[in-house]
Amino acid sequence: MDHQDRQGTHGEFYVTTPIYYVNDKPHIGHAYSTIVADVLARWREAQGEHVVFSTGVDENAQKTVDAAAKQGEEVGAYLDRMAELWSGTWAKLGIANTDFIRTTEERHLEVVRDMWGRMEAAGDIYKGQYQGLYCKGHEAFLKEDELTPDGLCPEHKTAPELVTEENYFFKLSAYQEKLLDFYETHGDFVAPSHRFNDIRAFVEHGLEDVSFSRENKEWGIPVPNDPHQVIYVWADALVNYITVVGMEGWEAHPADIHVMAKDILKFHAVIWPAMLMSAGLPLPGQVICTGFLTIDGTKMSKSLGNVVDPLDLAARYGNDALRYFLLREVSFGDDGDFSEAKMKERYNADLANGLGNFAARVLAVAEKQQGGIPPGGPALAPEFAEAIRTMRHTAAARLGQFRFSDALAAVWAAIAFGDRYVNDKKIWEIKDEAELYAVLANLLALLDAVAQELAPFMPEASRKIRAAIVHGSDGTVTAAKPDVLFPRVK
Ligand code: MSP
């Protein structure tokens, strides 16, 4: 069954973000993935689908314990505080997630044990000796040839720890052919396609079994029937996607889309499907993957002191503006650079001037019409009908391909058309009442359509604009200019 069939038959849409590590607070990179998932959730909901949209926190990592210790806090208290901080951040940013999962919850432990049992029953879990270089930052083993010349993890700049222990292994190597067959028949499983090519090449190269447990760790989910081992954090974390809907829920309707950045694509496009195959469960529809955000051209890092807090930006520019900037500025799948100067520039040009000014000009003239614009005028002018149709068609097609920036560009093309019309007609000077009514009816229809199209991207502005245009039961349209949508920022 391909992805299209799935959405049609169920009328249901299940989208996820990664569950984030809580060794720190959310930054703009995390916000980016979460916003992408939120746009997809709102879009599908607007199409009448029942949406499950989950995000959450990955609490069983060793680095959680380290972070708590560093703060001098007891782990449980630290986790509660961080869960509050992460879910509170999403609430403040207006994220419409329907669930927030914590991997220390009982519901999760049950599903993880169930999964482990299924993979074990399939003969895919076995005990073996392991020696490897473990990077805590990655929560994964690195190969020697992945390290810097002086033996450090290239990303975390720390020396991995040489670990020799007895572990349980997952027989990933047994899934090479099955994965390749699956990729073959599911041509849109990973987007963008160049990342799918990387994944195929990686799997074709040959797969090694993965260590799926750690010995004598104080933190994590114990391996069923072996209290000396805890389940490898990734083997537990991926299962969160089942926990959210329950085992039966997943069997009936697995995730349609997993959203993430490229750093964790292999876990989602290789290990996760193999685990599901082993457990006899259906696979997700798509894994979509963004690039990385940098700040003024450099990597975000605490030590560089350039970590951008999404709440700080939202407080100064608004939630919608933050969403708009990230989705418009970054071309999906590519790395993107954040700079506040660029954000300010786009904010003033596209939002204060573009959308805000167009809405304000149309609504101001419409508001002046006592008793509103009466029904019975001429039908929508062909050029308006065409502008609306093109916008809707193009935006939907681009959104379907996750080309958020291009979808927004299609909406801005319609705004530009409306703006030109307002200028050319000099609508504030039109004296003839019938003409003015016809012009306003067209412009209000366009503005309304623009706002409707923007609903998944900029829910607050969309709601304000749509609320400003009131359709009476007799067909009269009245307008009330809202407060300035996007005050200019100096
Ligand atoms: N806990 C794991 C995920 C388990 S999912 C079953 C994890 N957590 S994380 O906190 O490190 O989050 C990684 C994710 O955060 C990335 O995949 C991406 O979604 C987001 N990002 C973190 N930094 C980012 C950027 N600089 N740019 C874009 N996205 C970034 O990995």
Smallest Cα–Cα separation from 350: which of 461, 210, 215, 477?
Answer: 461
Residue having the nearest C-alpha atom to atom 18 of ligand 1: 261
Superfamily of domain 3-290 in CATH is HUPs (3.40.50.620)
CB of 18 shorter than 6 A to ligand 1? yes
Q: Which residues of 335-360 are buried (b: 16+ CB within 10 A; e: fewer)?
A: ebebebeebbebbbebbbebbbbbbb
The values of phi and psi at residue 330, to 5°, are -95, 130
- Give residue for tokens 């349209």: 477
Q: What is the pLDDT of residue 272?
A: 99
Q: What is the pLDDT of residue 217?
A: 79
Contacts 24+ apart (CB under 8 A), 217-222: 217/62, 218/65, 219/60, 219/62, 219/64, 219/65, 219/75, 220/60, 220/62, 221/60, 221/103, 221/109, 221/112, 221/113
Q: Judge residue 100's burial from the number of C-beta atoms within 10 Å of its C-beta, 0-12 exposed, 13-18 middle, 19 or more buried.
A: middle
Enumerate residues 6+ apart whose C-beta is below 8 A from 7: 13, 44, 49, 256
Smallest Cα–Cα separation from 319: which of 174, 464, 208?
Answer: 464
Max intra-chain CA distance, the chain: 87
Q: Ligand 1 centroid vs 262 CA: distance in angstroms? A: 9
- Give residue for tokens 């949406």: 51
CB of 238 shorter than 6 A to ligand 1? yes
Give helix 75-92 / helix 62-70 axis angle, nearest 10°: 100
Q: Ligand 1 centroid vs 19 CA: distance in angstroms? A: 8
Q: Provide the 3-class DSSP secondary structure of residue 18.
A: strand
Query: What's the CA gap between 293 and 330, in Å, rounded?
Result: 9
CB of 300 shorter than 6 A to ligand 1? yes
Q: Ligand 1 centroid vs 20 CA: distance in angstroms? A: 6
Query: What's the CA gap between 200 and 178, in Å, rounded?
Result: 12
Tally of CA atoms within 13 A in the half-sphere of 6 that contains its CB: 18
Q: Of ligand 1's atoms, which has the minimum distance to the CA of residue 261?
A: 17
Q: Ligand 1 centroid vs 298 CA: distance in angstroms? A: 17
Which DSSP helix (H) or strand (E) runs through 57?
strand 50-58
CB of 230 shorter than 6 A to ligand 1? no
Q: What is the pLDDT of residue 192?
A: 97
Q: Ligand 1 centroid vs 413 CA: distance in angstroms? A: 33
Q: What is the pLDDT of residue 1?
A: 37
Strand partners, 168: 127
Q: Ligand 1 centroid vs 467 CA: distance in angstroms? A: 36
426 sits in the region (left: phi over 0; alpha: psi -120 to 50; else beta) called left
Q: What is the pLDDT of residue 216?
A: 75
Give span(s): CATH 1.10.730.10, the chain.
339-479
Q: Of ligand 1's atoms, which has the minimum distance to the CA of residue 241?
A: 6
Q: What is the pLDDT of residue 418?
A: 98
Q: Provide the 3-class DSSP secondary structure of residue 320.
A: helix
Q: Which two tokens stand for residue 489?
A: 């920022």
298 sits in the region (left: phi over 0; alpha: psi -120 to 50; else beta) called beta
Query: What's the CA gap between 170 and 176, in Å, rounded?
Result: 13
Q: Tell me the average confidence (pLDDT) per consecutive run of 10 residues in the chain, 490 residues long.
A: 43 97 95 98 96 98 92 96 98 98 98 98 95 88 91 91 92 98 98 97 96 88 94 97 98 98 97 98 98 90 86 97 97 95 97 98 95 90 98 97 98 98 96 95 98 98 98 94 94
CATH, domain 339-479, list 3.40.50.12140, 1.10.730.10, 1.10.357.10, 3.30.160.270: 1.10.730.10
Q: Quote the DSSP letter at residue 356.
A: I
β 12-21/257-261 pair status? parallel
Q: Ligand 1 centroid vs 174 CA: distance in angstroms? A: 28
CB of 30 shorter than 6 A to ligand 1? yes
Q: Is the peptide bond before 374 cis (omega within 30 degrees of 0)?
A: no
CB of 29 shorter than 6 A to ligand 1? yes
Q: Are 162 and 135 in contact (CB under 8 A)?
A: no
Q: What is the pLDDT of residue 4?
A: 42
Q: Quote the DSSP letter at residue 371.
A: T
∠ CA 232-167-261, nearest 5°, is 30
Query: What's the CA gap between 445 and 448, in Å, rounded?
Result: 5
Type of residue found at 156: H
Q: What is the pLDDT of residue 8?
A: 44
Q: Of ligand 1's atoms, which has the minimum distance to the CA of residue 292?
A: 27
Q: Are 300 and 306 in contact (CB under 8 A)?
A: yes
Ligand 1 probe mutation, 20, 82, 243, 327, most atoms within 8 A of CB:
20
CB of 288 shorter than 6 A to ligand 1? no
Give span(s): CATH 3.40.50.620, the chain.
3-290
